[in-house]
Amino acid sequence: MKDFTTTSPVLYGALEAGGTKMVCAVGDESGEIHEQVSIPTTTPEETMPKVIAYFKDKPIRALGIACFGPVDVRKESRTYGTILETPKLPWRHYPIVGAMQDALKLPIGFDTDVNGSLLGEVTWGSAKGLTDAVYFTIGTGIGAGVMTNGKLLHGMLHPEAGHIKMSVEPGDPYKGKCPSHGTCFEGMASGPAIEARWGQPARELANRPEVWTLEACYIAQALLTAIMFLSPQRIILGGGVMHQAQLFPLIRQKVRELINGYLKTRELDDLDSYIVPASLHDDQGIMGSVKLALDAAAGE
Ligand code: ADP
Ligand code: ZN
């Protein structure tokens, strides 16, 4: 008879806290997800008891939370583990780490949703083994996770790379969707920005080449900034908009043009391997959350 006491893997809880849904899962140290549920994100009063109930009776050793932002990820901060000035008003100042800690009494790892996705890709996916990588998500919003020298970058708070300044492309009359900056990266290139500019949801514009040529120009501008500023060994692109696979060759070509021969590295010689899609089938966030839990259990 199989001895389950010695062969069952140690389990870890993973919570990918998103603006529309909370993905709750249990996984193991190989990144395998054993079970997963999705709970709509409404208000903390309604949503969090369901999240807690999911994890409460699970035999998990630690919990990892990758959360929509902005969030306080500064361990030394009085408000560590809380959601900050989010436009999702019911969640403003909500102490998500504290709430889970009180309920579960377990080690908890915590980071931004995009750092979580990057961590998933660095641990098990298309940036495996790298020490310096950037993950952009291009969806309802735009954000970036950054790893430098093997550590997820927080700095003052955490990067907000969706709000870097863009040069408006010649002939693009769109004024941008960001309430704070108008024509920042998110304002010009998020899914809602595409829909507002072209008058149709992004996914319905697959056959309009001009949409994706312009989109690639903005994404390439952001990648150029990341390359020149952070010197990543690889850049991963995920999020709903990047399901338009035709973007990848357009982005690579535009990045090559923008670099304009200034940098010559082995990585940039092979842009097909340098600018890559997320590889974990939209599980990168939840798998990264498992890794946050593993690291928390190890006391990191
Ligand atoms: P979120 O950012 O809300 O977590 P997603 O990354 O899936 O979720 O992004 C949703 C956005 O991506 C929507 O604005 C939608 O227009 C866009 N999107 C989703 N699927 C596609 C697709 N196949 N092609 C183009 N755009 C898409
Ligand atoms: Zn902005």
Determine the longest span between alpha carbons in the chain, in angstroms.
71
pLDDT tens over the chain, length 300 residues: 445 555 789 999 999 999 999 999 999 999 999 999 999 999 999 999 999 999 999 999 999 999 998 999 999 999 999 999 998 999 999 999 999 999 999 999 999 999 999 999 999 999 999 999 999 999 999 999 999 999 999 999 999 999 999 999 999 999 999 999 999 999 999 999 999 999 999 999 999 999 999 999 999 999 999 999 999 999 999 999 999 999 999 999 999 999 999 999 999 999 999 999 999 999 999 999 999 999 999 998
Torsion of CA 32, 297, 112, 53, to 10 degrees: 70
pLDDT reported for residue 8: 82
Distances (CA, A) of 221 to 7, 165, 168, 227: 49, 9, 10, 10
Tell me, using a 6 A CB cutoff, whether residue 140 lines ligand 1. yes
Nearest residue CA, atom 8 of ligand 1? 139
- The b/e string for 22-55 (b: 16+ C-beta within 10 A; e otherwise) is bbbbbbeeebebeeeeebebeebeebbeebeebb
Tell me, using a 6 A CB cutoff, whether residue 238 lines ligand 1. no
Tell me, using a 6 A CB cutoff, whether residue 246 lines ligand 1. no
Task: Tell me the residue length of the chain.
Answer: 300
Tell me, using a 6 A CB cutoff, whether residue 288 lines ligand 1. no
- In whole angstroms, what is the distance from residue 84 CA to residue 88 CA? 10
Pocket test for ligand 1, best of 140, 207, 237 (most atoms within 8 A of CB): 140
In the chain, residues under CATH classification 3.30.420.40 are 11-113+282-298, 126-277
Pocket test for ligand 1, best of 16, 88, 186, 203 (most atoms within 8 A of CB): 203
The CATH class of 126-277 is alpha beta
Write out the two tokens for 278.
């997320």
Pocket test for ligand 1, best of 237, 241, 243 (most atoms within 8 A of CB): 241
H or E stretch at 67: strand 60-67
Three-state SS sequence of 111-162 = EEHHHHHHHHHHHHCCCCCCCCEEEEEECCCEEEEEEECCEECCCCCCCCHH
**In the CATH scheme, what is the code of domain 11-113+282-298?**
3.30.420.40
Tell me, using a 6 A CB cutoff, whether residue 192 lines ligand 1. yes
